[in-house]
Amino acid sequence: MDKIIIEGGQRLEGEVTISGAKNAALPIMASTLLADGTSALENIPDLLDIRTIANLLRRLGAEVDLSAGRAEINSNSVENLVAPYELVKTMRASVLVLGPLLTRFGKAQVSLPGGCAIGARPINLHLKGLTAMGAEINLEHGYVQAEAPLGLQGADIFFDLPTVTGTENLLMAAVLANGTTILRNAAREPEVADLANALTAMGAKIEGIGTDVLTIEGVKSLKAISYGVMSDRIEAATFMAAAGITGGRITIKQAPVSALTAVENKLKQTGLKFDHPGQDTIVVTGPSRINSVDIKTEPYPGFPTDMQAQFMAMMCFASGLSVITETIFDNRFIHVSELERMGADIRLSGNTAIVEGVPALLGAPVMATDLRASASLVLAGLAAKGQTEVSRVYHIDRGYERIEEKLSGLGARIRRIKA
């Protein structure tokens, strides 16, 4: 099992280019099931999750060619409508094939994704919405058995809670449904908007993109597209935090600037300085000492839960006390015990973490427990005294493309040890 070894204490400086957004690429790749012909997708990151959904699409019968930064997908030969457990269990986003398969082919059998290291994330809102659209849903032997023999019908659907994958699944189901579908209290994340823009390029009729009310008028068919996926806002924000935690200066290129407002505003309060010399370029300069700042995670456009762990790593070095409140997922503080191994002073109370900044963290062997937790441990290791050894880094490979190479290019003393 690979490990990442970090010799801390280096001030990071230089340029880094942000990769395509995994959380936009995955649903857009799934959406190619809706169209005839070969779709060419650009700015596709080379990540474990991308390879997983490519394998799932192949299992369904699609032809998938992955190359550097690009995916070509032809779904003309899709005949197998079963998404098996052995693939779905490795990545919850695999459930995104449910909506496209059901609306185009009239039936689908998709394994339930099961539990998750950062808490339960059930798909009941997906199934409730599909049922409202006329689908017949049965749960048998750990699988969602879904049929729509007469086709899906447009419906007025209200989400009890904003759900990103739920919004994406129902959005993809609605584009080929009969009539008009309205999704209310829909997720507003930029990755949802990117999917909607890709579907529009295919010929879908969608109004309200970027808002919490999406109106979709079903069409008879969609066409293949050439489309460039947006850049990854969480990767960009993680490199912002890397500049802050090391007191460095990093120029971040191909950054989705408009999607980073909430993170940038909070990081400014910690003492980081930002310049915007170009439309998709951000220059971030870290302070000599980080200020303590409170955060509360919220759905977009609030502070993203996917940056909570990285922000906590910064607060471990801050002057004073900070309060971090997690409102999106339960059990998303499992990185705390690993930060404490490095000398962090953190107290937990329910969904709140109280972080008292310390003068320094000390390098130690630590274990990654999920994707964003692993990023927080790498950040802590960059600023810690001595050597930090991060194990189980397959988690970080799910969402960060060549992170050790990018950090090394900024001056970090970091290397990967192959198992």
Give yes or no: residues 263 and 322 share one domain: yes
Report pLDDT digits (tens) over 197-222.
999 999 999 999 999 999 999 999 99
pLDDT for 1 equals 81
What is the DSSP pairing of strand 13-17 with strand 249-253?
A: parallel
Span 112-120, mean pLDDT?
Answer: 54
Percent of the chain with pLDDT over 90: 90
pLDDT for 116 equals 45
Does pLDDT of 364 surpass 90? yes
The position carrying tokens 């950054």 is 255
Does pLDDT of 114 surpass 70? no
pLDDT for 121 equals 52
Contact 327, 296 (CB under 8 A): yes
Average pLDDT value over all residues in the chain:
95
Contact 234, 307 (CB under 8 A): yes
Report pLDDT digits (tens) over 238-267.
999 999 999 999 999 999 999 999 999 999
Looking at 316-357, list the stretches that DSSP marks H as alpha helix, in order from N- to C-terminal side: 336-341
Identify the band that residue 115 occupies on the pLDDT scale cut at 50, 70 and 90: very low
Give yes or no: residues 167 and 237 share one domain: no
Report pLDDT digits (tens) over 163-201.
999 999 999 999 999 999 999 999 999 999 999 999 999
Give yes or no: residues 61 and 128 share one domain: yes
Dist CA 238 CA 235 (whole Å):
5
355 contact partners, CB below 8 Å, separation of at least 6? 292, 312, 315, 316, 318, 321, 322, 323, 324, 344, 345, 346
Per-position DSSP letters for 162-182, written without gaps between them: --HHHHHHHHHHHTTSBSEEE
Please tell me whether residue 416 adopts helix, strand or coil conformation. Answer: strand
277 contact partners, CB below 8 Å, separation of at least 6? 283
Which domain, by its residues, includes 156? 22-228
Give yes or no: residues 151 and 133 share one domain: yes
Percent of the chain with pLDDT over 70: 98
Q: Tell me if residue 116 is catalytic.
A: yes
pLDDT for 330 equals 79
Dist CA 375 CA 326 (whole Å):
17
Dist CA 213 CA 206 (whole Å):
10
Largest CA distance in the chain: 65
Give yes or no: residues 13 and 102 share one domain: no
Report pLDDT digits (tens) over 42-81.
999 999 999 999 999 999 999 999 999 999 999 999 999 9
Q: Which of 36, 116, 265, 415 is catalytic?
A: 116
pLDDT for 418 equals 87
Please tell me whether residue 90 adopts helix, strand or coil conformation. Answer: coil
Dist CA 399 CA 396 (whole Å):
6
Which domain-ending residue is among 176, 205, 228?
A: 228
Which domain-ending residue is among 198, 228, 258?
A: 228
Give yes or no: residues 222 and 254 share one domain: no
Does pLDDT of 118 surpass 50? no
Report pLDDT digits (tens) over 286-331.
999 999 999 999 999 999 999 999 999 999 999 999 999 999 987 7
Does pLDDT of 158 surpass 70? yes
pLDDT for 331 equals 76
Give yes or no: residues 43 and 168 share one domain: yes
Span 74-103, mean pLDDT?
Answer: 93
Dist CA 376 CA 367 (whole Å):
11
pLDDT for 341 equals 97
Does pLDDT of 269 surpass 90? yes
Give yes or no: residues 310 and 397 share one domain: yes
Which domain-ending residue is among 228, 258, 274?
A: 228
Contact 238, 310 (CB under 8 A): yes
Does pLDDT of 120 surpass 60? no
Give yes or no: residues 253 and 384 share one domain: yes
What is the per-residue burial (b if ≥16 Cβ within 10 Å, else e) of 107-145?
Answer: ebbbbbbeeeebeebebebbbbbbebbbbebeeeeebbe
Which CATH number belongs to the domain containing residue 153 in this structure? 3.65.10.10
Report pLDDT digits (tens) over 21-37.
999 999 999 999 999 99
Give yes or no: residues 95 and 60 share one domain: yes
Give yes or no: residues 194 and 318 share one domain: no
Span 11-17, mean pLDDT?
Answer: 98
Please tell me whether residue 419 adopts helix, strand or coil conformation. Answer: coil
The strand order across the sheet containing 180-184 reads 156-158, 180-184, 213-217, 205-207
Domain count, the chain: 2
Give yes or no: residues 165 and 275 share one domain: no
pLDDT for 117 equals 47
